[in-house]
Structure 1
C-alpha cells in the first residue's frame, strides 16, 4: 500500500533536469542582455568581437544592426554590428582575408550614425541611421574600422 508521500518522485535529479534548468536559465539571462548575446553564445568556436554577429550570405539586415557585406548587392559573407560597438574589421574573418578593406555594401538599421573609418588614408565617412550604401569605386574596400556618433 502506498503512503501519501509516495506520490512525490523521490528520485535524484537527472541529467535531463539539469539540462532543462540550464536552458531555462540561459533563456532568462539572454532576455536581459543586448541584442547580440544570443547569437554570440552560439559562436564560441569563432570568437567575434563584442557586439558582432555573423550573417548568412545575402541575409537581410536585422533591426538595430549595422550590416556590412563583402560584395555589392548586399551579398557574400556578412556581419552585423550593434550600435555603439567600435569594431576593428581586421578581427572579422572573411574567407582567406578579413573584412578590413574588403566591404562593398552597407545597411544601417540602427538609430545612430555609423562612422566608417579608413585608417590607411586617415578618412572617415558617416552612414546615417536608416541609410544603405553601395561603395563608390573611389572608396570601395577601404574601411578598416567602425565607430559611432551616438548623440
Structure 2
C-alpha cells in the first residue's frame, strides 16, 4: 500500500457508529417532543393560590436558572415545587436570572397551575415554551431525518458491497 492512499473505514464500522449516534438523537428527540407536549397540555391546568417560600439562582455566569420554591394546596394535600415553567427551564445570563428570581419575593402569593392527574406537577407559567423546547421541536426532525438518510445510504452500501472470500 502506498503512503498516498487512504483507507476508508469498513462499512460495518460506519454502520455501528450510525447506530451509536442514533440512540442519543432518538432519546433527546423523544424527550423534547414529550416536553413540548406537556408544556402545551399545561395551558389547560387548573390553578390555586400558592405562597413563595424562597428564590435563588443556580448555574454559571452565562447559564443561570431562576429557581422559585413555592407551596400550594390541592384537595387538602400540601405540595412544594420549584418549577417555574413546565419541562426544561431556560438558561439566562446570571443578572437576568437574578432579576427573574427577585420578581418572586418570599411570602408573596402566586397563582400555581397544577396537573389535575398528578397535582405534584406544577408550574407558574403554564404553556410557556422555552427556547430549548422550541429548539428540540424544530431541530429534532431535521437531525432524525438526516440520521435516517445516512442510515439508508449505509444499508444500501452494505447490501451492495462485494462479498470478500
- If the length of structure 2 is used for normalisation, what is the TM-score? 0.25
Normalized per residue, the structure richer in strand is 1
- If the length of structure 1 is used for normalisation, what is the TM-score? 0.27
Larger gyration radius, structure 1 or structure 2? 2
- Whose RCO is larger (CA < 8 A, sep 6+)? 2
